[in-house]
């Protein structure tokens, strides 16, 4: 009996051990399946990331190519601008030289204009002086003319009074007096104009 019970106990123990091992293997299988699933997802994610990375890389390469093209064009533009800058510097230098010559010409012209203005001012003063002199001469001539006219009127009145007395003597005296008055008036006018 004791041997039979020992065998049963051993068998039970072996069965329990087998059951534990089966459960352990099952747990291992489950973990392996989980790991396979995770690995598959990881691989898929990695592939997606690789695709994204590849797309990003291609896009970056295209952008870099465009940037390089723009850079080349900008370099060409910079070279052209450099040449244009040199041309502009030469033009500016030429303009400065022309401006210097023009400045000297303007200064000379300004001096001539100032001298001309001074001459005009002097001429204006002389014209004013001449105008004053002419006005004075006109007033003097008018005065002399009025004086001579009054003398002629007096002579005419004397002629009228003496007309009936002695026509012959009166005619001679009248002519002499008229010539004398005319001579006086002419001489005074000439003296006034030449003074």
Long-range contacts (CB closer than 8 Å, 24 or more residues apart) made by 125-133? none
Closest C-alpha to 195, from 122, 125, 126, 136: 136
Residue 184, number of CB atoms within 10 A of its CB: 14
pLDDT tens digits, one per residue of 71-114: 788 777 877 877 777 877 788 787 777 767 777 776 777 777 77
Q: Tell me what pLDDT residue 189 has.
A: 53
Give pLDDT tens digits for 170-180: 555 666 666 66
CA dihedral sign of residues 123, 129, 131, 133: negative
- Condensed to tens digits (0 to 9), the pLDDT of residues 2-37 reads 556 677 787 788 888 888 888 888 888 888 889 888
Read out DSSP for 20-42? HHHHHHHHHHHHHHHHHHHHHHH
- pLDDT, position 170: 52
Share of the chain above pLDDT 70, in %: 73
Give per-residue pLDDT as tens, 38-70.
888 888 888 888 788 778 878 888 888 888 888
All structural domains of the chain with their residue ranges: 2-194
Which of 6-10, 31-35, 144-148, 183-187 is the most confident on average?
31-35
What is d(CA 167, CA 169) in angstroms, rounded to the nearest whole number? 6
């Amino acid at each position: 009996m004791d041997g039979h019970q020992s065998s049963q106990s051993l068998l039970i123990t072996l069965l329990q051990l087998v059951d534990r091992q089966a459960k352990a293997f099952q747990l291992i299988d489950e973990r392996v399946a989980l790991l396979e699933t995770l690995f598959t997802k990881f691989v898929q994610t990695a592939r997606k990331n690789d695709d994204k990375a590849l797309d990003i890389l291609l896009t970056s390469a295209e952008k870099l190519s465009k940037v390089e093209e723009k850079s080349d064009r900008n370099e060409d533009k910079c070279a052209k601008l450099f040449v244009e800058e040199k041309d502009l510097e030469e033009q500016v230098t030429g303009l400065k030289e022309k401006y210097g010559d023009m400045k000297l010409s303007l200064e000379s012209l300004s001096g001539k204009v100032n001298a001309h203005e001074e001459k005009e001012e002097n001429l204006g003063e002389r014209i004013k002086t001449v105008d004053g002199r002419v006005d004075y001469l006109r007033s003097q001539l008018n005065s002399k003319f009025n004086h001579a006219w009054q003398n002629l009127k007096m002579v005419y009145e004397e002629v009228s009074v003496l007309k009936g007395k002695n026509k012959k003597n009166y005619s001679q005296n009248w002519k002499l007096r008229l010539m004398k008055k005319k001579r006086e008036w002419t001489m005074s006018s000439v003296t006034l104009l030449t003074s």
